[in-house]
Structure 1
Amino acid sequence: MKRSTKYSKKDVYQIVNERIMSSLEKGIIPWKQPWSVMGLPKNYQSGKAYKGINLWLLLSCGHGKPYYLTFKQAESLGGKVKKGSKSIPIVYWNFVYQHKETGKKLTEQEARKLPKGLVDRRAFLKYYNVFNIADVECVDWELPETSSKQPFRPIKACEDLLERIPDLPAIKYNEAQAYYYPKKDYINMPEKELFRSEGHFYQTLFHELVHSTGHQKRLNRKELWGAADKDKSAYSKEELTAEMGASYLSNLCGIWEEAQQENFSAYIQHWLGQLKKDKKLLVESAAKAQKAVEYLTGGKD
């Protein structure tokens, strides 16, 4: 496996943009992730945290254990990358030095010995691939202790609400990402202990629960079913409905937190653009959010 490949600036930028945009389209905002128990994403071997765009690329993957290795680093530890595992690009800058008068290419050491006025330095992007340690077999990982994290303490008002919900979809904890999967009608959530607080957990769960009310056997919202492929504004409508509904439920349970306000604000710029195109968006989304809340609470608010 090649460690890195040369690409033009446009190609590498496109790779980065496509990955981040894909996450945003799934409702995952890397810089607004509410769960983290092991700190920032790091290279397992060096222990150094990734910086710049690499930080956001890795956060968008939602791995519970944020440690990464190159293919060769995994091999050096006696590990083996699992078949079918997907690599993640790590972007870095490379530089080319050239003598302005002679046109001769220079090494970095040669360039440093010359006056700056005689050296032309050009930067270009390159990348190499890494894998999360969950995708590497045959290694006994030595990870920092996280037992100091306080155990999750259920919030009674939230649990009472969950118990009353008719036809509650299954809630699974398969991966460190929050989403509703309409085709199989289940919600995936990160482990409860990964959230910064109990309130963050319930707020995130409420968002996905509102999405679940759009299922065909419940309120049958067209924005949740197939329309997104034909109409990109459908995703915005569904997200706005979920945000409004989750905010209502959070207030109802008394767990409104500043973090939810931050998450809510993350969508504002996108919504502004949609509002300019569709003056009915807010009114219609608010009505659908109200119906979702009434369904989840049995009309008891």
Structure 2
Amino acid sequence: MSKNFKALPAQLSDKLAAEIREGNSLFQKPVKDNGLPAFVKPINPTTGKSYSAMNTLILGMQRHDDPRWMSADAARYAGNWVKKDEKGTMIEFPKTSDIQAIRTADGQRIKDGAGVTQTKTVEFEKPQRSQAFLFNAEQLKDIMPLDEFLAKQNEAQTLSPIERAAKLIEDSKAVIIHGGQEAYYDKQRDAIFLPEMESFENETKYYQAAIHQLAHWTGHESRLKRPMEGKFGSLDYSREEMRAAVAAILIGGDLKIGHNFGQHAAYMSNFVKILKDEPFEITKVSRDAQKIANLLLGNNQKREQKQGAEQQGFKVGDEIAYLDTTYKVLETKNKSVKVEDADGNRKVLQPNYGLHKSLLEAKYNPREREIGEEQENGLVEEQENTHKIGR
């Protein structure tokens, strides 16, 4: 990699700061000129897998109307092809293992009788950052029409976006007090204050405001215990605002209700300053925003319920996206499984193999882990000196 390569978080910070200065960031312009949401939650159409918060921001900031994103290899394996001259969007993920060719003592690849190179899985002691380029469905040929894909995706969804938002708020059990003209979270009283619904332009705007304040509510010491010190207008105050704003984007995209930051002008200059002076703060912001979204959307509970309801095993025909390729299950025998990757390499995996465990995890828990999440515990939280958050 070139010595001049700028780390991905820094690239994201630069782009986001530039968009804020131009007045067209996701915070400032939640709806595009075509009337569609500026942010569409990215997903892998083969697995239904979503991406980590930072990668979600990177992909969402491309402003595509189609939520589907895949690598060129995964797209080709699914029977789709990248259109000529299209450029991929780089994301970053933690790589915990690598598949390497088995070689002789003098470095020659060992092949089987069919001429296929034999491989082994090497597990890393620590996750290593790895990059991949993804392409949006709008950049691919021969892919299912978006309307058809969305119809299939929404088949099991019986609630409207408004109903889902209302249920999310109800399920949170947060104390919400209606009245007045301000929307904010009072951390001393651990209560959200909102104007009456009739004060908003429509129901959607009300629920968008409520979700934003609910994001602040998660920071209480009895929940995610985030530092929320600083007076209105300070950099510390703005750090919390950025976390809530990104979380509201993620949640609004998941519920398909959209987001609206509302009174954003007071925070934008501080956002730019933070992004410029501390470009890697966006990594922490994204990680905290993911925790907020997980808590409010109940993702952890859903995952446990899904795992408990399904038998933990492989089925012939399973297609599992893992790292930068997709594995297809060709055969199962006892607890072993025969798979083929996107390049046509085949192998038999025993239950004690690292790749076997990783593919099983990827099938039943399709998510991207963030590097360094365990390294956040050194923060010292001082006593909060202001009560109203998110005004």
Q: What is the TM-score of this pair, normalised by structure 2?
A: 0.34
TM-score, L = length of structure 1: 0.43
1 or 2, which has the higher helix percentage?
1
